[in-house]
Structure formats: C-alpha cells, structure tokens
Amino acid sequence: MSSSSFRTPPGQRPRSKLGRILTELTPRFFDTALERVGIKQFKWLGLLFLLLSIPLIVTPLEVWQQGAIAVFFIILGQVLVKAEEQESSPEIGQYYHLFMVWLSLVTTLRYLYYRVSYTLNFDNFINGFACSLLFAAELYAILTLVLAYFQTLKIKERQPINLAAIPEDQWYSVDIYIPTFNEDVEIVRKTALAALVCDYAPGKKTVYVLDDGRPERYKPDNPNYEKFRGRREELRRMCEELGCIHMTRDNNEHAKAGNINTAFHKTGGDLVMILDCDHIPSRQFLMHTIGFFNDPKVSFVQTPHWFYNPDPFERNLVTGGRIPVGNELFYKVLQKGNDFWNAAFFCGSAAVIRKTHALEVGGIAVETVTEDCHTALRLHSKGYKSVYYDKIMVAGLAPDTFSSYVGQQVRWARGMAQILRIENPMFNPKLKLNLAQRICYMSATSHFLYGYPRLVYAVAPTLFLLFGINSVQGLGVETLAYALPHILLSLFCNYIIYKHVRFSFWNEIFEFVMSFQAGWVTLLALINPKLGTFNVTDKGANIAKRTFDWRSMRGLVIVSSLVISSLLAVPYWLLLRPEDWQAVLVNTMWSGFNLILLSSALLVGFEQPQIRTAHRLQRHLPVIISSNDQTIMGETINISETGALVSLESWPNLPDEVQIEILGDFSARATLTGRVIRLSPVSETETHLAIDFVNLNQQQKDQLTLVIFSDVNEWYSQKHDYSDQPLASLGFLATSLTRSLRDVKQIPRKKVRKQIQAYGQLYWDGDFFPGVATELGVTGMRLELDGKRAVASSKQLGEQDLHNMRNAKPLVGLLLSQEANSQTPTKFVAEIISVQEDASGRIAIELNLPDKFKGQQTPKVKQLLQSL
C-alpha cells in the first residue's frame, strides 16, 4: 500500500502523533492478526487478555499511589474521548470505543475488588443491612453496565434492499394490521389513510382495522355499552368509506396479541405489517422493508418508533428540543447493537413480520404483557433472523400526561420482568439462543429492575447524615480514589457511544421518575409472572393548566424531603463529630447530587399546559399562497393540522383570508383556506406568516394528513446535530425549576388585513358619515371618518354617539366604493368593535363582518379585494 493511502483527506483535521499510533498501526496489526484467528482461538485470546488485566485489578496501593493512578486513568480517558470526537473514520472510532470499554472495565473491577476487600460494613445488623442493599445495588449497576457494553460493541448500519429487480407479480402479498381498542376514530383514520397510500405493487396490499372495542363487554345499561357501540359503527363506516377492511372478533382474550393472532387465521398475506393505531406510516415504508425478506430466514423487520408530540420529559422540563428524547437511546444505538448479534427486538408496531414464522411459534406471545419482545425471543430461539432498519417511517403519539407515561412504562417493566422470570434467557437450556443473543435478552429483561437500586443510591447517604447508619466502611478520600475512575471512565465510555442519543445524568432522571413504580411491578412479576393485565396507553389528551401528579410522585416527594433534611444535618456533624469530616464530605456531595436529580425528576410530574390545540411539526414544505390576483411562493417553518408558520421572501400586502396549497415531499398536496393571524417581517427580505386553517371539509383534512405525515422522504428527527456536554447537561438539569415555573404565554394574534384606500360611508342613526376604508379583510375592516358631520344633513356625531358605539357595539350600514361619487357602492352590514378618536378629532372605527351575513357578504369582500 502506498504512503498516499494514509494522507489526511482534504478538509479533515490532521491526527496527533498518539492518534496516528492508535489509529493506523495498532488497528491494522489487530486486523491482520484476527483474520488468522478462529473463534476458539479468539476465546482463548480474550481469556489471556483478561488474565493480563488481573494485576491492574488486584494490586494493592497506598492512597497517594491509587490517587495518582486514578488521575492518570481519568486523563487518559479524556484524551481518548477527544481523539474519538476528532476521528472521521467509523472503523477507527470503533477501536477507541473498544479500548475505552477495556479501560472502564478494569477500573470498575478494581473498584469492585476494593469494595469487597475493605469497605463492607457488618459491625452491626443495621449497618450490615444497609451495606448489603447498597452493595447489591452496585452489583446490579455493574452488571447492567457490562451487559450494555457487550450490546454496543458493534453498531450495525443497514441499507434497504431494492425491489426493482424482482417482477411485481413475484412480490410478497402484505396485510397491514391496525389494532385498536378505545382510541378516537380520527386517530385511527389518519393511520388507515396513510397505510392505504403506502407504495407497493397493485393488488398486493390489504389494510385491516382490527377493532377490539366490543360493546358486548358491558351490560346494555352501562354507559360504555352505547359509547363502544357508537364507536364501532363509526369505525365500520370509516373503513367502508376509505376502502379498508373492518375486522372484529367475539372476545377480547389476550388483548392486542389475541387480536393479531385472530387476524393471522383470517387473512391471506405472506407478510404482515403491524401498526399501532396512532402510528402513521410514511408512503415508502413497504418499499424500504420488504426487500429484507428475500432472505427466507428473516422473520421480521423492525423500524424505529418516533413521536411527533413532546413526551412528559420534554414538555414538563421545557427542554425545547435540546435534549434527546427517551427512546432515542434504544432505537439509535441499542437496537443497532442488538442487530449486529442477530438479536434485534420486535417492538409491536412499525414492523413487518413473516406470518408463517409467527404461526410456527404459536403466533404473537400471550403469556406476558410485552408480547412483542417475547415473540422475538421465540423466533430467535428457532434460529430465525431479525433485521433492524434505522429509518424513521412512522409518526406516532407519545403519552401526553405523566400518568399515561407511567402506565406505559409500568406495562413494559412488568412484561420484561415476566419474560425474565418465565424464559430465563441467560441460562434456560431449552432456548436455542447463542451466547450473544442470551446476553442481549438478559440486558433487556433485567433493565427495568433499576427501581429499587436507584432508590438505594438516594437513601444511602441520607441514612448516614440523618441516623449515622454507615453502609460503606471507611468512606472518604481513599474510597473516592477508587470510585471516581470507575464512575468517570464509565461516563466517558458511554459518552463515546451515546453522545448523540442520551446526555449525561439524564438516565438517572428517567430511573428516578419510575423508581417506585418499576421497583414494585418488577418485584411482583418476578414473584408471580401471571399478575397484571395489558393496559392501553391513553393518547391525544390536552392539558389546559398546570397540575402536579401527587399520586405518581408521592414516593419521590418523601425521598426528596429526607435528602433535604440530611443536608440540613451537615453542620451538626461538623460541630459534634469533626473527626468524621471525610465521610460527611462524601455523603454531602452525594446527597447534593441526588437532590439535583430528584428535583428534576419531581418536575416531570409538574404538568405544563399545552398552548396549541394540535402539535406543530418542524417540516419544511413548499407552499403556494394565492390572494386575489397575486401568487406568492413560500416554505413552512412548522405545520400542524390546524395551522402553519410560513416563511415568505417578500413583504406582501395580504387580506385576512388566503388560499394556500401545501406540497409534500413526493406528490401529495392539499389546498386549503387559511386565515392570516400574524404577519411579521424578520429581515429586509423575509416575512413570517402565521396562518390558521379554516372551514376544512373531510377531504381537505385527509389531504393535509397525507401531506404532513405520509408524503415524507425523511423525518427531521432522523439526524441530530446536538452532542452531549456533561457539565452543561448537569447545569441544564439544575435550572429545570426556573424553566418549569416560567409563565407560558400565547403569542398574541394581530388583525392582518389588506391595506387599501376606498371611499366609505357609515350609516348611523339615519344619516351617512363619510370616511376612508384603510384596511379590508373577509372578517372585518377599518374605517376612518373624515369628520363628524353627516353627508346630507347638519347632524354631527356627538360624545353620546361615540359612547353608544363603544358600549353597545351595534350593527351599522356601510357603503364602500373605489370612486367618491360612485352610483353603485357595495353595501355591507357590520358590527362596531372599537372606536378611537385622536387629538385632531379624527375617528377610527374597527368593524367586524358578522358570521350570519357571511354567505352574502364574503363574495362582495373578495371582489373588492381584487379590484382595490
């Protein structure tokens, strides 16, 4: 290979000397060596590497020596993080990651060896009990750390397989299932609409709405009976209108899993695409996923779940889109890591599954409430393959309220613990899984056991400061010398792999929020896996005012109170027991850190009001705005089903209502009427136009749904440019209270009307008063009177007249024309809204055109707008 192969490409930052050694010589040596090593030899090589690490783990050192080693390891870790950030080659970045994993494991095991050898405290029952709880929590944390390291050793990126080379008549037939129970019919309609327009071979795709909302579940005198009966009939009519098939069953056994299994035996497709009823698919979904099934061993293809509305963490902590959402860690990293080991999970929606394989394992699993992951485990145990394709192709609804979020997480926690208890994926010999798959499933099913360990971390320093219960013998500077490398290097290692999907310290927030609920349900599931039922997550709620979810947060409120009390006790320790200053210092820092996390966790339960009636999506779509004789091109900044913010490259003079045509990424378009509510210049060449969509019929609503949610080339959340900054992340959490308590104000709406000059006469109390109309729109106008004298009499407007206009807001007559002495002025009936008189005596009157005359007067307004 010529030396030119190692030159820095144009525009790429040159590597440091250390970087060249690590990224050019070392990786190539290992690549060459490992190519000649078989799997058995590789295992022995790994064992040898572990044996060589033992001296680094068990060698005893003086405190100052351990401190020096700790500083060295921390600096080395920081250097590796910086080098990895500057590296443009993913392959070379992988070596940095692997080296950091080894470094982190060495420091973690050294810390664990120190803890076991020197710090376990069993001098009395209470201390021994507290010590056992803390040590068990640490063992769990280390276990999950090691399992996660293995899951993410290698990240697999996939490209879609092109179907064009295969004749369409040989394509698989696909059934699209949309299971539903009690969700609003409008939510189901959007998903069904988008499913029907998914690109695929004609005649090879059928859409089914699986309606499990049986009115027969209730007695006829129960209000729910009539509610579900009406909903079922509405769904039936919707399916008939759209052209999809409405499917029901005569029972509700096994909830969603049973609903899908029943449909398996009634439909004839080779493959089944499953969509939660709020998961609106983009039109390219099938074209990007079906090609993977050319491999007959592939059982299912899973894609990411993405939510277009903010979840309770985003909304209640007012993150403003600056923090990755909760599920990005799973879908952007963990699933890709699982995919490398052929252990990607089926997630119940946004997926396509091969029906014959599903039926071979008995259909969708019904023994647990996380039937999706359980089904994937059984398919993998049969030796089949899974595919995870990381392209967002569904837009769903996240739980709107914190209580709904808790219900969803409780179901997942219970279900994963049920799988752990029933299947025992790590050690069950009946499961035909390889070691890598066992590790991945063990990591997933044990994840939700974090509840009680997280609470132990919060309570341990509090017990010492309040009651003198010492769970760590000799806690002080020496302990920090062992603990800090373990903690910081694990943070560095996680930073390398998670820096774009999970910011530092946010994992602790997620765990604190659910600690009591997750701890309780997983404990019950491990004791008796048959406990618990499937619950449907509520979607589409609207929060009108700030509230605090005391019911969900009462446990954390108690823990937070104890932590605050423990910090108040610190001065007493320093006064009465100054010899224990090291233990007091460490426990104080620990409690202070816990308080920051707990405060942010509590604020997640402090519901923030929703200002908008519909969630805005940051989509940039071409728009064509038409008004009278002018056509203006623009682009949406954000858009929802009720309105949009549009960027225009001009300062237009627009009336209050315009026609707007919105174009999707491919061929969809929607033509709507928009009411202008705000027109704001932002530069010399750009204006932001805020529009509400008005008077939409069902066809226009459907068109808009397809433009916004279906006709999508790439969702804006597919790629992010933000990256973790640990100290900034901690500071952001520490200031959560100031953001959560900030006043939420709606941007005021202004009257936007076309600026005109037209002659007008106000008909008041039997006389006409001349003036000039300066603004005109479909909903109203502004008239400025030339004076107070009437046209054909000596009558003048007095103070009593102006008072009556202001207070009575009466209906008045109005004549408008282009010429002063027009014989055919246009007549209107208008309502006076406000009257203002300036120092010179000029009177300005704001008038509304009443809705009851809209049919007769709107055409006349539009005609005038076109001519003026």
Question: Percentage helix, strand, coil, to 5, in the chain?
Answer: 50, 15, 35
Residue 184 φ/ψ, nearest 5 degrees? -60, 140
Residue 653 burial (CB count, 10 A): 13
As a whole number of angstroms, the distance between CA 345 and CA 366 comes to 16
Strand 687-694, strand 643-648: pairing: antiparallel
CB under 8 Å to 815, separation ≥6 — which residues?
A: 760, 761, 763, 768, 825, 826, 827, 828
CA distances from 165 to 169, 212, 290, 585 (A): 12, 39, 13, 69
CA distances from 27 to 155, 157, 464 (A): 18, 21, 48
Residue 734 burial by CB count (10 A; 0-12/13-18/19+): exposed, middle or buried?
middle
CB under 8 Å to 699, separation ≥6 — which residues?
A: none
Catalytic residue among 211, 276, 372, 665: 372
Greatest Cα pair distance in the chain: 112
Bridge partners, 246 (sequence order): 209
Q: Check if 372 is active-site.
A: yes
Residue 552 burial (CB count, 10 A): 20
As a whole number of angstroms, the distance between CA 483 and CA 74 comes to 11
Residue 415 burial (CB count, 10 A): 27
Q: Please report which residue ranges of 361-450 form alpha helices under DSSP H.
A: 371-381, 402-423, 435-446
Bridge partners, 630 (sequence order): 627
As a whole number of angstroms, the distance between CA 168 and CA 50 comes to 54
The letter for the amino acid at 663 is L
Strand 205-211, strand 174-180: pairing: parallel
Catalytic residue among 175, 212, 390, 400: 212
State the residue for tokens 């040159």: 14
Closest CA to 605 of 569, 551, 564, 655: 551
* CB-CB contact of 326 with 310 (8 Å): no
As a whole number of angstroms, the distance between CA 61 and CA 69 comes to 9
Closest CA to 731 of 322, 456, 316: 322
Three-state SS for 787?
Answer: coil
Q: Check if 711 is active-site.
A: no
* DSSP assigned state of 117: I
State the residue for tokens 């509700």: 252
Closest CA to 282 of 404, 194, 178: 194
To 5 degrees, how large is the angle CA 536–CA 539–CA 543? 135
User: How many helices (H) and strands (E) in the chain?
Assistant: 28, 23
As a whole number of angstroms, the distance between CA 80 and CA 62 comes to 27
State the residue for tokens 């798959």: 437
State the residue for tokens 């029972």: 251
Catalytic residues: 212, 372
